[in-house]
């Protein structure tokens, strides 16, 4: 803490993706796709990453578009939490 005031809390990272697996209890696997431009060739490239996400109410199913947020570590692989199901 500084003398001028309290430190600002970092905002948590939000991601949107598609549920690819919901076979575990209270855990879903979300595939997040992002587009980036290649620096040399200026071609658009797709990059994918899978996140293990905590789903407390088991409400998300495969194929749903969901929004997830970064959170404290819940288990060895779970560092993300389900915010809402955007489209079923």
pLDDT in tens, 28-86: 999 999 999 999 999 999 999 999 999 999 999 999 999 999 999 999 999 999 999 99
Span 4-33, average pLDDT:
88
| pTM assigned to the model | 0.83
CA terminus-to-terminus distance, the chain: 44
Which two three-digit tokens encode residue 74? 């819940």
* Among the ranges given (11-15, 21-25, 65-69), the one the predictor scored with the smallest mean pLDDT: 11-15
- pLDDT score of 81: 97
Q: Which domains does the chain have, with CATH numbers?
A: 14-87 (2.40.50.140)
- CA distances to 3, 8, 16, 62 from 79, rounded to whole Å, are 33, 22, 15, 20
């Amino acid at each position: 803490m500084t003398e001028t005031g309290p430190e600002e809390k970092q905002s948590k990272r939000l991601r949107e993706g598609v549920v690819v697996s919901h076979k575990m209890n209270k855990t879903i696997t979300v595939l997040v796709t992002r587009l980036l431009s290649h620096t040399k060739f200026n071609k658009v490239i797709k990059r994918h990453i899978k996140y293990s996400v905590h789903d407390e109410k088991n409400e998300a199913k495969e194929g749903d578009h969901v929004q997830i947020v970064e959170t404290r570590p819940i288990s060895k692989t779970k560092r993300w939490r389900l915010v809402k199901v955007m489209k079923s």
